[in-house]
C-alpha cells in the first residue's frame, strides 16, 4: 500500500496543469515560451492572470492532496516525506511531458502546508513579503526556499516537528534553487524581469 501511495504521489505531482492551461487557452505548448517552465509564473507571462492563478492553485493542491492521502492511511513521518518528495519529482519531471515540468515552488508549498500548515504559511509569508518589495517572482521563490529550512528548524526545536520533515525542507530548498539556477544568474546580472514586464 505504501508503494502504491508513493506512485500516486508521483502521478499527482506530474499532473500537467500549466501545460494544459497553455493548450486549452491558446493552443500553445507553454514549454516553448519564456523560461520553458510549466509553472504559474510562465503561464502568467504568456497566457494571463486567470490561467496563472488556476495553475498555481492546482499545483498547490497536488502537494496538499499527496500528504493528506498519506495521513489518511496513517503513514508515518518518513513515508509522508517520501511521498512528498515523489510528488515534487513528478512536478519537476513529469513522464507525460518528456520530463520537462515546473520549478517546484507551488507544489512544494502544498506539500509543506500538508506536513505542517504553520511552516507552509510562514514560508508563503516570506514569498509574499519579497514579491511585494521587489516584484520579482524568482527572487521571492528563492528567498522562500532559503528560509524554509530555518523555519522548519525553529519548528523542529519548539514543537513536535520530526527529523524527516527537516530533511525534506533541505531537499526542497535544494531542488528549488537548482531549478532557478538560470534565474539566479540573471538576478546577479540585474536582468531578471519584474512582474508586468517582459
- For the stretch 97-138, pLDDT in tens is 999 999 999 999 999 999 999 999 999 999 999 999 999 999
pLDDT, mean of residues 27-54: 93
Whether the Cβ atoms of residue 155 and residue 164 lie closer than 8 Å to each other: no
Rounded Cα distance between 82 and 77, Å, is: 9
pTM metric for this prediction: 0.93
Instruction: Tell which residue, 49, 161, 46, 179, has the closest CA to residue 108.
Output: 179
Say yes or no to pLDDT of 17 above 90: yes
Amino acid at each position: 500500500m505504501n508503494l502504491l501511495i508513493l506512485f500516486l504521489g508521483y502521478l499527482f505531482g506530474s499532473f500537467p496543469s500549466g501545460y494544459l492551461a497553455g493548450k486549452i487557452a491558446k493552443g500553445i505548448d507553454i514549454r516553448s515560451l519564456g523560461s520553458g517552465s510549466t509553472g504559474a509564473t510562465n503561464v502568467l507571462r504568456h497566457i494571463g492572470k486567470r490561467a496563472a492563478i488556476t495553475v498555481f492553485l492546482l499545483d498547490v493542491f497536488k502537494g496538499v492532496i499527496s500528504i493528506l492521502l498519506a495521513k489518511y492511511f496513517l503513514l508515518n513521518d518518513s513515508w509522508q516525506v517520501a511521498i512528498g518528495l515523489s510528488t515534487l519529482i513528478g512536478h519537476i519531471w513529469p513522464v507525460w511531458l518528456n520530463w520537462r515540468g515546473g520549478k517546484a515552488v507551488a507544489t512544494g508549498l502544498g506539500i509543506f502546508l500538508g506536513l505542517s500548515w504553520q511552516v507552509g504559511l510562514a514560508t508563503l509569508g516570506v514569498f509574499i513579503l519579497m514579491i511585494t518589495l521587489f516584484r520579482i517572482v524568482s527572487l521571492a521563490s528563492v528567498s522562500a526556499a532559503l528560509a524554509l529550512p530555518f523555519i522548519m528548524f525553529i519548528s523542529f526545536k519548539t514543537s513536535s516537528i520530526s527529523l524527516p520533515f527537516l530533511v525534506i525542507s533541505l531537499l526542497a530548498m535544494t531542488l528549488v534553487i537548482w531549478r532557478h539556477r538560470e534565474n539566479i544568474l540573471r538576478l546577479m546580472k540585474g536582468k531578471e524581469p519584474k512582474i508586468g514586464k517582459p
